[in-house]
Structure 1
């Protein structure tokens, strides 16, 4: 059975982007540093490979879609269907790389993404949609890549949310610390 997984890099002060997110800087000022570990040591590359290798569909927040479409040139991963959570639905969009974006509400997008993923997992992109999934009881796991930088401002990961996550496995540390948590179901 597949899972809905938030796989996210965050600064030590809890931000998933830097300040001043805008179209020409979709990760905000200094936010690209959150992903430098993608070219890190073997531990980092193994964590990245594991995450991407199990991804069968993607749920994307509308703002993340709006900011990411141009840099991605289509879906974040060619051939992996992407479902944009939005109140402003529209016809499906074929990206420049051949991937398709479908637009729907939270529960419908999640259901469709899980169906499309088959026996693989659904990856979540965007802090706001991750919070919505958590609140709706639709998020199964959090994979947190804790980056040793302080951004001071930006997009916070779980602002205003409360809960207890259950550690899964042991943390591993490369250039960043990789943590994994299961989200308990009520």
Structure 2
């Protein structure tokens, strides 16, 4: 059975992007540095590469917020992972869009998109892209797991990860230390 998983790189001060997110800088000023660990070249980079390989192998479908879709479509060249069905959470629905890399974008409201993504993922996981859609999923009780890649970087401002949301989280496994610290948590429930 698939799980809905937020897998996100976050700065030590809690931001998922740098400031001034815009078309020319979809990750904001300095935000691309949050993903430098993907190259596996930093201190203990082999640990980072192992985490990335393991995580990428679990992706069966993607849930993405409309703003992330609007900003990411050009740089991605299609769906965020080639051939992986991607569901855009939006109030502005439209016909499906075939990405240049073989993946399809479908547009729907939060609960319908989550349900469709779980069906499409089969026995793999549904990955979440975008802090806003992650907050919406948490609030709706639909987020199952949070994987945080804690980057030793202070961005000072940008997009905060959970911006005021509250939840009970349970650690899953041990932290993995590479050039960043990789953490996993199961979501018990949102706290109101």
Tell me the TM-score normalized by structure 2.
0.95
Q: Is the 8 A contact 2:11 2:153 kept in 1?
A: yes
- TM-superposed CA distance for 1:185, in Å, is 4.0
Offset, 1:50: 1.2
* Cα deviation code 1:41-97 (max 9, x no counterpart): 111011111111010000000000000000001001111100000000000001111
For the residue of structure 2 that corresponds to 1:5, the secondary structure is strand
Residue of structure 2 in register with 1:37 after alignment: 37
Counterpart position of 2:129: 125
2:71 to 46, 52, 67: 67
Partner of 1:24: 24
2:185 matches 1:181? yes
In 1: Cα distance, 2:161 partner to 2:34 partner: 13
Q: Map 1:154-169 onto structure 2 (within 5 A).
A: 154-169=158-173
Q: 2:31, 2:106 → 1: CA distance? A: 27
Deviation beyond 3 Å, 4+ runs, structure 1 = none
Match of 1:183, SS state, is: strand
Between Structure 1 and Structure 2, how many residues are aligned?
186
Distance 1:162 1:119 in 2: 29
Q: Which structure 2 residues correspond to residues 29-178 of structure 1 after superposition, within 5 A? A: 29-40=29-40, 41-178=45-182
Question: RMSD of the alignment, in Å?
Answer: 0.8
Deviation track 1:93-123 (CA, whole Å, cap 9, x = no partner) reads 0111121100000000000000000010000
**Following the alignment from structure 1 to structure 2, what is the Cα–Cα distance between the partners of residues 93 and 50?**
29
Instruction: State the distance in 1 between where 2:167 and 2:113 align.
Output: 24
1:130 Cα deviation from its structure 2 partner:
0.2
Contact 2:168 2:189 in 1 (8 A): no
Q: Shift in Å at residue 2 of structure 1? A: 1.1
TM-score under structure 1 normalisation? 0.98
Q: Give 1 or 2: higher strand fraction.
A: 2
Could you tell me which residue of structure 1 aligns to residue 13 of structure 2?
Answer: 13
> Structure 1: any 5+ residue segments left out of the alignment?
none
